[in-house]
Amino acid sequence: MKPKMIAIGEALVEIMRPDIGQPMDRPGTFIGPFASGAPAIMAVAAARLGNPVGFIGAVGEDAFGRLLRNRFVDEGIDCAYLQTPAGHATGVAFVSYELDGSREFVFHLRYAAAGAMYPEQLEADYFSEIEWLHISGSTLVLSAACRETCMRALEYTKANGGKFSFDPNLREALLPVAESRQLYAPFLAAADVLLPTVEEAHALTDNADDDTAAKTLLGDGDKIVVLKRGAAGCSVYSSTGCLDVPGFAVEEIDPTGAGDCFNAAFLTAVSYGWSLEKTARFANAAGALAVTKQGPMEGAPTQSEIEKFIENH
Ligand code: ATP
Ligand code: MG
């Protein structure tokens, strides 16, 4: 059976400081490896929600690569197009949490397996059942080959009547924002669903007003633009207007991966044909549950966990 949802991009392991306020420019303790990478987290979150998911990407022939492949298999994700290019180690991201709540990243990614992805590795047939292709901007800035592979996947998706969702996931540690914007342009234009954080919407449009930024991204096409607002929830813009949907109050243990779990839940609910309001509540609940557990994808909830959580709030 071919997947209905395909995530393409970097699978990596994350190795992080256990506590906030431990900068990485001096020795100290790390914990990990944790399976991570925005598209990988989204794939796991989508699989837990019951979707037939395929992951396209590359890992090394090493312990970290085994960790990721085993994880995907355990989650029921199709790995037919998870490559193991010779001579490349698995991608790694080191992360620290600053006292002001921000994160610092050190990426070993571009020259790792994650960056060694090529369009000719894809086959149109894999996309024959596709409903959603999901791409993260963090993949587009890895290499020209990654960008071309994503574009090929997008072409195969559109040719098969599938829809395309794009999360900008701007990472200044990978590329300055101005350059990312240029590389993103064709993907921003082609997206059926755009899933930026509110800060990313500002950065991508050079506009500090939420409403104007969202409407600029919306353009006059038939798109949905969702501004993710952390604990405050999200705002959904579409041809029918704007909807602010508040978040759920939870104790935040680890914010990493909230956006990706939100994305998976949002696309799943759109596929169900739910209203945008019900869809946004479902996605907010998925994001809220995600931050209550340590580890990038450990908090990805199932549909019944989300429904129980909403009932109790
Ligand atoms: P990521 O670290 O995965 O890139 P992000 O920065 O893309 O995350 P956020 O806006 O932080 O995205 O979170 C996505 C969604 O998850 C929010 O829109 C909200 O619904 C939910 N969420 C995130 N943080 C919290 C929180 N502290 N409490 C409740 N809900 C949250
Ligand atoms: Mg994000």
For ligand 2, a single-atom ion, which residues have Cβ within 5 Å? Answer: 169, 259
Q: 254 pLDDT exceeds 90?
A: no
pLDDT at residue 219, as a whole number: 93
Q: Indicate the top mutation candidate among 228, 229, 292, 294 to test ligand 1's pocket, ranked by most ligand atoms within 8 A of CB.
A: 228
CA 260 to ligand 1: nearest atom: 3
pLDDT tens for each residue of 199-217: 999 999 999 999 999 999 9
Predicted structure pTM score: 0.96
Phi, psi of 171 (to 5 degrees): -130, 100
Q: What share of the chain has pLDDT > 90, as a percent?
A: 93
**Averaged confidence pLDDT in the chain:** 96
Residue type, 293: K
Predicted confidence (pLDDT) per residue in 47-74, tens digit: 999 999 999 999 999 999 999 999 999 9
- Dihedral angle of Cα 64, 255, 253, 14, to the nearest 10 degrees: 10
Q: What number is the average pLDDT over the span 129-156?
A: 97
CB 17 within 8 A of CB 28: yes
270 vs 167: CA distance, rounded Å: 16
CA-wise closest residue to 46 among 304, 260, 191, 223: 260
Q: What is the 73 CA–ligand 1 centroid distance (Å)? A: 26
From 95, 229, 298, the mutation candidate for ligand 1 (largest count of ligand atoms within 8 A of CB) is 229
- Residue 170 pLDDT: 94
Ligand 2 center to 129 CA (angstroms): 27
Q: Which residue has the tokens 């999901």?
A: 134
Q: Is 50 left (phi over 0), alpha (psi -120 to 50) or beta?
A: left
What lies within 8 Å, CB to CB, of 106 at 6+ separation is 24, 93, 94, 173
Q: Report the nearest-CA residue for atom 10 of ligand 1.
A: 230
Q: Is CATH 3.40.1190.20 correct for 5-311? A: yes
